[in-house]
Chains A and B, each alone.
Chain A
Amino acid sequence: MAGKTQKDAAEALAGVLFDGMTIMAGGFGLCGIPENLIAAIRETGVKNLTVVSNNCGIDGFGLGVLLESGQIKKMISSYVGENKLFEKLYLSGELELEFNPQGTLAERIRAGGAGIPAFFTKTGVGTLVAEGKETREFDGELYVMERGLTADLAIVKAHTGDAEGNLVYRKTARNFNPMMATAGKVTIAEIEHLVPVGSLDKDNIHTPGIYVDRIFQGANFEKRIERVTTRPKETQMGEEKASA
């Protein structure tokens, strides 16, 4: 069996990309994003991408770099408020956008990876989100049908992993990564620390290796912070210092 471990992002992406494909990208804001893979996708110039990601990075970092290079045709997201270029491209009609409520997006991906083609949720009933979709009453409450979601490629980021593709995430950098790992026809994981098989705690593996096709240790992680917020010693109040 060919190994899953790759040298770097470019090698991990070899033979996988094509114009017009759908890519899921893990992360919440800039937290837990596969930054090496995003940079490598930009280098390839692949275009007309549909990208499924909760946000679209910021101007100049994260998925924002694929917007700048014009490689994204459509985004499926829940919140894009941090990105001025996004707003501009959308309002001028150069970018398609499908807003999904965050929980609906997470569940669509979870369902897609689990072989569930559709489900019913209360979220969005009576709003624009439910327009054109089937609704049904269960136990006196109205629900809207949402479809499971899969992608040609899922790119995820974990803290630690092994050659089997087992992944462990760290703190809130987990977010959308575990579901996306299950929903890609091909899933590539970039990790901060590649450890020997057998050294991860088997009871605490977040993503079992079956979902991961290729894995590599990222060359460098900038791990930029979007909103550094601190408190002075001795007080509770937070004070925002600067935006990234």
Chain B
Amino acid sequence: MAWTRDEMAARAASELRDGFYVNLGIGIPTLVANYIPAGMHVTLQSENGMLGMGPFPHEGEEDADLINAGKQTITELDSSSYFSSADSFAMIRGGHIALSILGGMQVSEKGDLANWMVPGKVVKGMGGAMDLVAGVKRVVVVMDHVEKSGAPKLLKACTLPLTGAGVVDLLITDLGVFEVGRGKSPLKLTALASGVTLDEIKAKTEAEFEVGL
């Protein structure tokens, strides 16, 4: 049995440490906020200009001036602060954010990440992803292990346009966890999802990897 989206988010939450300033991407990474361990103080940054993101509002309490980077309505905390996009990316680019958890389309054994466009098909844009992978101290990618077609997404080299080269520290998929180490050390499988065999994960991975379970 592969991990569910929530199980992947819970695994990613184990990367959090007390006192961390963290940026969570759209999709599964957003769910990580639900798995912050009790008693741990983590401050969530939203790159549109906020530190200290609170939970989604109750119905009827939505504020059009208060959204996250996924354009969802959110709330503020007593500890929150607001700032411009230039200040926000000074925090990101300047290395002041400890951890970024992002979604991915492809990851390579060299630590490259592609998650912003499919030429001729998907035209969305990179948003803040290129700045995050360039500036944040530790980059964790959470994604399905293969495409809907079954094609592998953990590759020797990405075929899609890159978001960043040699930027991924850790990869969490629905099948397991890999230390990527920004491509500076060999790719290493460090955990398997419950019920997933080594043979299965090898069959679904193009990249070369070591096994360190």
Question: Hey, which bits of chain A sit against chain B, CB under 8 A?
Answer: 28-32, 54, 77-82, 86-87, 90-91, 97, 99, 101-107, 109-110, 121-129, 159, 169-179, 206, 223-233, 236-240
A171-B71 CB under 8 A given contacts A122-B93, A231-B57? no
Question: Does B55 contact A103, Cβ atoms closer than 8 Å?
Answer: no
Question: Does A175 contact B161, Cβ atoms closer than 8 Å?
Answer: no
Question: Does A173 contact B65, Cβ atoms closer than 8 Å?
Answer: yes
Question: Does B55 contact A171, Cβ atoms closer than 8 Å?
Answer: no
A240 to B30, CA, bound (A): 12
Asked if B123 is an interface residue, CB under 8 A from chain A, the answer is yes
| Minimal beta-carbon separation of B96 from chain A (angstroms) | 13
Question: Does A123 contact B86, Cβ atoms closer than 8 Å?
Answer: no
Name the residue on B nearest A241 (C-beta).
B59
| Minimal beta-carbon separation of A29 from chain B (angstroms) | 4
A102-B127 CB under 8 A given contacts A28-B67, A171-B65? yes
Asked if B134 is an interface residue, CB under 8 A from chain A, the answer is yes
User: For this complex, into which size category does the number of interface residues on chain B fall?
Assistant: 35 or more
| Minimal beta-carbon separation of A19 from chain B (angstroms) | 26
Name the residue on B nearest A229 (C-beta).
B72
Question: Does B56 contact A229, Cβ atoms closer than 8 Å?
Answer: yes
Asked if B186 is an interface residue, CB under 8 A from chain A, the answer is no
CB-CB under 8 A from A99, the residues of chain B are 125-126
Which of B11-19, B43-51, B169-177, B187-195 forms contacts with chain A?
B43-51
| Minimal beta-carbon separation of A76 from chain B (angstroms) | 11
From B34, B62, B70, B162, contact of A236 by CB (8 A): B34
CB-CB under 8 A from A87, the residues of chain B are 123
Name the residue on B nearest A223 (C-beta).
B64
CB-CB under 8 A from A78, the residues of chain B are 125-128
A29 to B66, CA, bound (A): 12
Question: Hey, which bits of chain B sit against chain A, CB under 8 A?
Answer: 30, 33-34, 46-50, 55-59, 61-68, 70-74, 76, 82-86, 88-89, 92-93, 112, 120, 123-131, 134-135, 161-166
A99 to B124, CA, bound (A): 9
Name the residue on B nearest A31 (C-beta).
B67
Question: Does A175 contact B84, Cβ atoms closer than 8 Å?
Answer: yes
CB-CB under 8 A from B62, the residues of chain A are 225, 228, 230
From B55, B82, B84, contact of A238 by CB (8 A): B55
From A91, A123, A170, A230, contact of B73 by CB (8 A): A230
> 18 A-B contacts, Cβ less than 8 Å apart?
A30-B71, A102-B126, A102-B127, A104-B130, A106-B88, A121-B93, A122-B135, A123-B131, A128-B162, A129-B130, A170-B65, A171-B66, A171-B82, A172-B46, A174-B84, A175-B84, A231-B56, A231-B57
CB-CB under 8 A from B68, the residues of chain A are 172
CB-CB under 8 A from A97, the residues of chain B are 123
A110-B58 CB under 8 A given contacts A91-B120, A127-B162? no
Question: Does B56 contact A175, Cβ atoms closer than 8 Å?
Answer: no
| Minimal beta-carbon separation of B89 from chain A (angstroms) | 3
> Which of B55, B83, B123 has the most chain A CB atoms inside 10 A of its CB?
B123
Name the residue on A nearest B113 (C-beta).
A127
A229 to B64, CA, bound (A): 11
From A90, A175, A223, contact of B85 by CB (8 A): A175
A125 to B135, CA, bound (A): 12
CB-CB under 8 A from B56, the residues of chain A are 229-231, 238-239
A86 to B47, CA, bound (A): 23
A74 to B128, CA, bound (A): 21
A166 to B79, CA, bound (A): 26
| Minimal beta-carbon separation of B7 from chain A (angstroms) | 15
CB-CB under 8 A from B72, the residues of chain A are 227, 229, 238, 240
| Minimal beta-carbon separation of B45 from chain A (angstroms) | 12
Question: Does A126 contact B89, Cβ atoms closer than 8 Å?
Answer: no
| Minimal beta-carbon separation of B29 from chain A (angstroms) | 13
| Minimal beta-carbon separation of A231 from chain B (angstroms) | 4
Question: Does B134 contact A121, Cβ atoms closer than 8 Å?
Answer: yes
Name the residue on A nearest B80 (C-beta).
A171
A102 to B133, CA, bound (A): 12
A109 to B135, CA, bound (A): 19
